[in-house]
Chains A and B, each alone.
Chain A
Amino acid sequence: MVDVNNATVYVVDDDEAILDSLQLLLKTAGLRACTYDGPEKFLSDYQPTRPGCLILDIQMPGMTGLELQEILADVGSILPIIFITGHADIPIAVQAMKDGAFEFLQKPFNDTVLLDYVTKALSLNERQQKEITATQSVIARIEKLSPREKQVFEKVAEGKSGKVIASELNLSPRTIEIYRSHVMLKMQATSAVELANLMNITR
């Protein structure tokens, strides 16, 4: 289940009534909402590590929703974006989805559908957040390996046997065995298969 206590639903729309009604709807669904009447205000408040999702209007004076999406993509944000728009503008919808939008809803929207999208977006964000955390921890572990251990780690992860690695590195199989056990320990793995998985995460 999504950790709703921790996640925030961000809403960006230039229309005060839309913001207010969405805040109320999200509140009744037990979600925490944070509203902004323009992309600029959202950006000044934005912190990449905070979990959540973004409900974003497209037509706004000043910066549009699509432009905000582009900026967020540039800074590597993983915040899922649910676009809401008053216009049934198909080319814009297609562009938004191509650029990685999570969903696209036309105003006025059904609350069940919106809340369903929000829930899915939050769980996606949570999952992605976890993956990022996992990757970051693997990278941190790899960084603790010595250069020689790193070489052995890569070759083991590639599925090579101790003998093959020993001959490739011009070391004895016995030495390789010692390095291998160090790598297993430092990478918190119990088998060559696990090492291979950890290797894949970083790619």
Chain B
Amino acid sequence: MNASKQSLAEIEALKRKVKREKSARHQSEQILERKSTELYHTNQKLKQALAELDERAIAKEKQLVGELRANQDTTRTLLDSAQEGIFGANSNGRLFSFNRAAEEMFGYDSGDVIGAGVSILLASPYREQSDESLRSFLQSGDESFLQESRELIAQRADGSHFPIELWVVNTVSADGTIFFILIRDLSAQKAAEQEIFKKEVEVQQARDHLAHIARVATLGEIAAGIAHEVNQPLAAITTYAQSGHRLLDAKVREKDDIAYVLQQIERQASRASEVISRLRSSIKYGAATRERTSIDTIIADTLTLICVEADRKKVEVEYRPECDLEPIDVDSVQIQQVLINLIINAIQALEAANVQQPRVVLRTEPRAHQQIYVSVTDNGPPISRETMDQLFTPFFSTKEHGLGIGLSLCRTLIAAHGGSLNINRNRREGNEFFFTLPTINAVVKASKKMESSNG
């Protein structure tokens, strides 16, 4: 029995141990369960937190993408709305953007040219130079590549050429230096310039032509005098030659007489040809040519042309020169033409008014600011104020057959020489027309002034 009792006790002990262990395990299980639940909750929380984070990140990303896209659209719109052709190129000269204006100018779709080299947009020889200048800029960083706009010839998709003005702007991005190239189509401007140039040429031609007409008209008025001047030596030559024939026919020949006749014929022939060459130089039709001369020379030449006409009309033409006048750079023929116009006008006015002792006086004087002053004064009846106001109006004339070109053209010619022509309005007696011309020193000074203001 003891044994059994012992066994029972042991069993009891075992039972209690099991019970204890069971309780402990249960306790552990409970703890585990509790812990597990906690863990689950934590996990849930974490999951939730992560989900929230994710959501925020996506939203942020969405916002950024949206903003970027909006930015790109704005840029695109901006670029496309520009009048200038604008395209971007990377440091290898490959195009990465091409705006609408550029598409229109060049006839390319942007898709066609993106990735291609800038050089395809240029005509030879710029095409060949473009890569080289890009390279040299990248190597040297020479800023002049960027500073100035330049004019080049571009080539369209269809191979045709057109003039452009081009600026290059550079910026540094993550991919290295990139360039934006701005282009303005100069076709219209060039065409307009061409048109203006053509018009200017036409105007100049018209003016030359008008000058020619007026010169011929003026010369027509003194043609009778010129004809007389040529005819005199011709008449003498004829008579000498006829006398020569008679001398040859004469029974007694005098050798000296024949020699004399021949010598005289020669002399008169050269006299006639001098008149002709003087006349020819006066009617020479062509663009203005400037040469250095003195107003004295011009007046002297003018007076030889005018003297016969003056004699014919019995008008005394007198020149009162001022010594030591500075030389001038002018078209002598044009200045002569102005003088002839003024003198012929005076002679005709004196004749029309039937003035006693008609007289025309030419004067020259130095004036301030390196100008010389030339005046033509007559002693005819003063021109009325109303007429004075219209004197220089083209096609105004008081003469029955006047063209009304003379004075307005004279004024244009003098103005073209940097001078001015006018009538003296303060005279009580007679009429004084005068003009000024800059001397060579005035011309030099003016050009120096321009140089210094430019520099």
Q: Which residues of A contact B (CB under 8 A)?
A: 15, 17-18, 20-22, 24-25, 27-29, 59-61, 84, 86-87, 107-111
Residue of B nearest to A24 (CB): B243
- Bound CA–CA A21/B237 (angstroms): 8
Chain B nearest CB, measured from A120 CB (Å): 18
- The reply to whether the CB of B31 lies closer than 8 angstroms to some CB of chain A is no
Residue of A nearest to B307 (CB): A61
- The reply to whether the CB of B239 lies closer than 8 angstroms to some CB of chain A is yes
- Bound CA–CA A108/B238 (angstroms): 6
* B236 contact set on A, CB distance < 8 A: 15, 17-18, 20-21, 108
- Bound CA–CA A107/B237 (angstroms): 11
Residue of A nearest to B242 (CB): A111
- Bound CA–CA A111/B246 (angstroms): 10
* 13 A-B pairs (CB sep. < 8 Å): A17-B232, A18-B239, A21-B240, A21-B264, A22-B239, A24-B243, A28-B250, A87-B224, A108-B234, A108-B239, A109-B238, A110-B242, A111-B243
- Bound CA–CA A18/B234 (angstroms): 9
- Bound CA–CA A29/B232 (angstroms): 22
* B264 contact set on A, CB distance < 8 A: 17, 20-21
Given A59-B228, A59-B311, do A111 and B250 touch, yes or no (CB 8 Å)?
Answer: no
* A87 contact set on B, CB distance < 8 A: 224, 227-228
- Bound CA–CA A63/B245 (angstroms): 34
* B224 contact set on A, CB distance < 8 A: 87
Q: Is the CB of A111 within 8 A of B311?
A: no
Number of interface residues of B (CB under 8 A): 28
- Bound CA–CA A25/B257 (angstroms): 11
- Bound CA–CA A84/B245 (angstroms): 22
- Bound CA–CA A79/B261 (angstroms): 30
Q: Is the CB of A28 within 8 A of B232?
A: no
Chain A nearest CB, measured from B330 CB (Å): 31
* B234 contact set on A, CB distance < 8 A: 107-108
- Bound CA–CA A60/B314 (angstroms): 9
- Bound CA–CA A29/B246 (angstroms): 8
Q: Is the CB of B243 within 8 A of A109?
A: no
Q: Which of A15, A20, A61, A108 has the most CB of B within 10 A?
A: A108
- Bound CA–CA A17/B227 (angstroms): 16
Q: Which of B239, B264, B312 has the most CB of A within 10 A?
A: B239
- Bound CA–CA A68/B217 (angstroms): 33
Q: Is the CB of A25 within 8 A of B243?
A: yes
* A27 contact set on B, CB distance < 8 A: 243
Chain B nearest CB, measured from A24 CB (Å): 4
* A110 contact set on B, CB distance < 8 A: 242
- The reply to whether the CB of B424 lies closer than 8 angstroms to some CB of chain A is no
- The reply to whether the CB of B123 lies closer than 8 angstroms to some CB of chain A is no
- The reply to whether the CB of B247 lies closer than 8 angstroms to some CB of chain A is yes
- The reply to whether the CB of B406 lies closer than 8 angstroms to some CB of chain A is no
Given A15-B232, A21-B236, A107-B234, do A28 and B227 touch, yes or no (CB 8 Å)?
Answer: no
